[in-house]
Every structure is written in structure tokens, then in C-alpha cells.
Chains A and B, each alone.
Chain A
């Protein structure tokens, strides 16, 4: 009997150990008034290495905030862009929600009722730029808080252009094709085309816009496999086959190609202001060796470029005391000085009207800021998260296989999801 008892006890203990091991990550939840609160902030890393990692930026804010509010501690975790969506999605799937995220935002989180409304966690939500606030809205209420924005332009290497005997910037697809061929003859890559999983959805949209296409039409109907888009990818396929791009764009990522552009290996590439610090760090191209122009379209430069916005989202993860803590922290983090610090560090654009106003006359940011209000944005449908994942994984095969078939499969997913 005794032995049996001990055995049973051992068994229970082992089971308890194992079970508690599984559930130890559950938080104790919002506690009463004076007790200290810990907020978990998960942010995408915009840095290119340990020197300028966003961890430092956020830690700086968290520390300054903690000195002012000793009862609230903010723990910071940054994830590189390649893994950000995947890891945040896994946290959500396992219901181990972070309190605050900064990076991509998906309206399906709002649809599931996981997020606080913007007005619940930020005192002055009307200071956020209206175009992007609209993008962070679901059924009329705003859940995504724009944090940083950027717009895209076409960068080209003036040195290589000169060597190849090209005198003017590419304006049309035909120019891109001709210039790429000439640069290839110099032994370099003509056009850097990142259709790998990191940000294929941006590159694809930039080309679609050049032919009057988009993922959705103005009424919100999916048009991924429209004839204009198929034609766009047929052009890209032919550009790839002619050797005008790097080989096999289907698994080449933006960050890697930007670095190669900075090394002087690539003639043309679509980029955002975030490419500028990489160019400066590379020390291969001087400031006069490259320039950026409006993105080439089928018959002329595109009128309104892609405006990308990264959002802050606050998860309902505790009681009202936690919500109050989040609000305090976000009010603190959204101060103009932190907005501008972020933009200066990564050459990105602000997302608040007040910060944008104070940067309006800046020689670097001014022109980009002017273009922002007209910029084209990604769809805000709840199906976008799934569609985006599929674009990232499969659209690269459109330039080796049959564009119509690949785009058609993505269109099916989009229609099923909405």
C-alpha cells in the first residue's frame, strides 16, 4: 500500500510538473491599483545590425518612461522583419498575447475582438495621420495606430548608368528593359527584383501600379488576377528571362538586395528612404553616386506611389489597470521627439500630424512627406493577412511559371477569405 501511495504521489508530482511547465507562461493578469504592472512590447527591428537595432530605441523610451512611472515596467522584444509576422501570429495563435506590438498590423485581430480601440489607448488619437488611420480601421472603428510611414521610389546607381552610357533616368518599362540590358553587359545586375517572402507584396504592387492595376479596385473587389496584373507579370517574366534582373527573383529578399545595391552590384531597385542609411553605411557609393526618382510604369512614371505604414496595436490582455498603463505608455511614446528620433535614425517618415508638420521643411523628408497623402495603400480587408502570406510565398513563381495561374490561385484565396 505504502509503495503504491508513493508511486501515485510521484506520478501526480510528475504530471503537475509537466502541466505547470506548459502553462507557466500565463500571466497573473491585471492587478489592483498600486501593484506594479509589466507590459510586454513586441516590435519589428528596423536596424541593420547591433549598432542601430530598434531594441535600443524602444529600451530608451521604456527606461525614460519607467523613471517617470516607477510602477510600470515595459519589457521590450524586437524581432527582425523576416520573422516578425510569423512570430507574432504564433503568439496570437497560442493565445500568449503581447500587450503592444509595433510593426505589421492585421485587421483580423480587430475582427476577433483582440485589440483595444485607438481612442482607448491613446489620448490624442486625432493627431495620427488621417489617411493611415483609415487603413488601421475595421468597421468604422480605429484599432491600428500608425507609428511610422514611408513611400517608395526608384533608386538607381548613377555611376553604373554612366559606365553603361545611359544618360537619363528610366521612366517606362521599356527604359527599364533597355537599361537593365546595358548594365548587364557591364557584368552587374540590371534590376534588383525582390520577390522572395520578405516583402513580395510591396514589390508586386509597385509593378501592378505601373500598369494601372492593384490588388483591389476602388470598390474593394479583389482584382489580383486582372488582365492588367497578368500583363504586368508577363513583362516581369520576360525581364527575368532576358537576364535583366538577378537570377531567380522568387527567393531573393529586399534586405539582401538593398545591401547588394549598396555594394554597387545592382543598377536599379525600388526602395524606400530606409535604403539611404544602408547606402551610407556601405561606403561604396557616395551621396552623388545614386539618386531616386518616381517609379517607372508601363508608359510613364507612376503618379501615386505605395505608401507603407507600420502600426502599433494594443492587445486586450488584462484588466482596466493594464489598459490605463498601456495608454500612459503610448501617450509617452507618441511624443514628437520620439517620432522624430525614429525617423532620423531609420530615414522613415512620421505618422503623427504634429511630427510631420515639424519636418515639413526638412530637405530629405519634405518631398516624401508631400507625396504621402496621395499614396496608394495595401487593402484593409480582413482577408489581407492570408492573401499577403500567399503572395509572399508564391508570387515569385509567377516569373518562372504561368503568371495567370499563380495570380489566379491567390485571387481564389482572397475571394474565399472575404
Chain B
């Protein structure tokens, strides 16, 4: 402490005349720009510019073949809000995000705990968990789609062999044909592909908790459940919040699972806002852009509410 209070060595800001210091300060301020400039340019062109174009497009009247025919005013938004399917699509999106993220986080908590213990084959098990993450989501979805085929899908064959499924090609066997069961199966796939990331994030969190805390708790005679609730969970909170937030954004934007398994159909009965937007684009570019703006707004609101509800700042920084 005392050393820092000692008089400043020559060459620091305080000891120089004012004008020179300003020139230097500008120079110094510009230096970081050299390093972050390319990144800023990239963000500007790849992230911000498309957002601007998206907003602009949503107010334009565009032919299905991509020709701008002038301003549409708020008509694209009016059309969008008059879509009879919009309400169902929005409700489904909420169910999709909440259910997938909640189930993912719960299973990940268990898995992370398991992988934090020592057991023979732990290394192999940890590696195996990467598989759903490493495989392309589209590939995983296709595998599930064919596994659920009503005629000869492997899941149906299994269910038939154990006697749970009476006959192939029946309504019961046609998991992806009934909107609700299709939606549930797609959520299963979404959880499956989200697990590795959250589990690793939580595992990393678990490993930062010092062993002495557990030791002290055990000396005090705390039960296992008590230790988990009072030590593990609170200290895991930062990791839990970060991975949940990233999952919320990922799951909200999830496209390939739904597209490959049902294309959002029949009708729009298994669409979320992301696939709905894509389906609209085929004929109605402006309205689809309006849906994109709504999506953009939704994801920002969800993130803000999430940060607020979890008192992010106090917890993470």
C-alpha cells in the first residue's frame, strides 16, 4: 500500500504539462482500436447491419421474388398479427423454450454431479457425452425422424417387441404425425443436443468449489442434501445462470430440429416462431421480416427478464 502512495515516477501523466498529455492520451486511446477495430468492423457488418436491414425490410412491400415495390407502412405487422396461426405459434414457442431449458438444466445438474465423482471409466463417459454435441443437429434430427418412422422405425420396432405397440402404421406408431406427440419428441431431441454443453458448464462450476468447504460441512454434521442445497447450489449459481441463459437463446433460435422432423407441419401445428418465420418467407418477405423483428424483440425481452429475475450483476460479477 505505502509504495503506491509514493511520488509518481517521471513520465506518468500527473507530472507532465497538460497539452502534451492530451495528445498522448488520444494516441493511447486509439491504440486499443488497432486491436479491436477488425472485431468491431466484423460485428458492425455481420451483426448490426443485418439488424438494420431486417427492420427496413419489415416496413417494405416486397414481391415474392424479392423486388421492392415501395413502402408498406405497418401493413406487414398488421398482416402478421392477423395470422390465425400466430397465437398458437407464440404459445408453442414459450412451451418449447421453458420446457427444453428446464429439463436440460435438471438433467445436467445430475449428470455433472455424476461426472464429478470418481468412478472407473469416467474419462470414457465424459468423452462419450460430447457425441450429441459434436454431431450435427440436423443429422441427429434425421436419425430420430427415421427411428420414429411409423412403418419400421427402430423405436417403434422396440416398442412393438416389448408389447407396448400393437401395430405398425397405426396412429399410435405415427409419433411425428400427431402434432402434440411430434412436439414432445422434438423437445426430447432438443434436450438431447443441449445436454453436453450445460453439463460441461456445470461440471466446470463444480470443480471450482473448494473441497475444504465440504469437509467443514461434514465436520459440522450436515446431511448430504443439506450440503448440496447450502454449499453446492449457491456456489454453482454463476455457472448455472450462464449456461441456462445461453440455452434459452439457443433453444429459442432452434431451427434444424423442427425443420428436419416435421417442417413445422401439419399446417403450422408444430412450428415455433423461428420456423414460422422461415415458412412465411417463401411468399411474404416483408411479413417474414416483421416476424424476425418480433423474434428479435422477444429474445431481447426474454434475456432482460432473465437477467433481472436472477439479479445477474450481484451474482456473476
Contact = CB atoms under 8 A, between A and B. Distances in A.
Interface of A: 1, 3-4, 6-7, 10-11, 13-15, 18-19, 22, 85-86, 89, 92-95, 108-109, 112, 114, 187-189, 196-197, 246-248, 250-252, 260, 263, 265, 385-386, 389-390, 393-394, 396-397, 400-401, 409
B267 A10 contact: no
Given A250-B177, A385-B283, A6 B34 contact: yes
7 contacts: A3-B34, A14-B38, A108-B64, A246-B150, A247-B170, A251-B262, A393-B264
A247 B267 contact: no
Given A18-B41, A109-B65, A112-B67, A265 B169 contact: yes
A385 B64 contact: yes
Contact of A15 (B41, B65, B269): B41
Interface of B: 27, 30-31, 33-34, 37-38, 40-42, 44-46, 63-67, 84, 150-151, 167, 169-171, 173-174, 176-178, 262-269, 279, 281-283, 285
A246 B174 CA distance: 9
B1 to A, nearest CB: 35
Nearest to B23: A1
A248 B270 CA distance: 14
Contacts of B266: 196, 248, 250-251, 394, 396-397, 400
Contacts of B171: 247-248
Chief secondary structure at chain A's binding surface: helix
B46 A86 contact: no
Contacts of A85: 282
Contacts, number: 119
A13 B39 CA distance: 12
Nearest to B177: A248
Nearest to B170: A247
**4 shortest interchain CB distances as A-B pairs:** A248-B177, A250-B266, A93-B66, A14-B41
Given A95-B66, A248-B266, A386 B283 contact: yes
A7 B30 contact: yes
Q: Which of B37, B44, B63, B150 has most chain A Cβ within 10 Å?
A: B37
A92 B65 contact: yes
Contacts of B63: 108, 112
Contact of A386 (B31, B64, B265, B267): B64
Given A13-B38, A15-B41, A385-B283, 8 more contacts: A3-B27, A7-B33, A18-B46, A93-B281, A248-B171, A248-B174, A389-B283, A393-B267
Given A250-B266, A385-B64, A385-B283, A187 B177 contact: no
B30 to A, nearest CB: 5
Contacts of A109: 65
A15 B67 CA distance: 27
B89 to A, nearest CB: 13
Nearest to A93: B66
B58 to A, nearest CB: 15
Contacts of A389: 282-283
A178 B41 CA distance: 68
Contact of B177 (A10, A22, A251): A251
A189 to B, nearest CB: 6
Contacts of A4: 27, 30, 33
A112 B269 CA distance: 33
A247 B174 contact: yes
A19 B262 CA distance: 36
Contact of A409 (B84, B262, B269): B84
Contacts of B67: 112
B57 to A, nearest CB: 11
A405 to B, nearest CB: 9
A251 B33 CA distance: 53
B270 to A, nearest CB: 9
A3 B66 contact: no
A386 B268 CA distance: 16
B316 to A, nearest CB: 31
A112 B65 CA distance: 8
Contacts of A86: 282
B269 A393 contact: no
A196 B44 CA distance: 41
Contacts of A14: 37-38, 41-42
Contacts of A260: 151
A37 to B, nearest CB: 25
A252 B267 contact: no
A390 to B, nearest CB: 7
A263 B42 CA distance: 53
A48 B42 CA distance: 43
A20 B298 CA distance: 32
Contacts of A1: 27
Most A CB within 10 A of own CB, among B40, B167, B268, B283: B283
A367 to B, nearest CB: 32
A248 B178 contact: yes
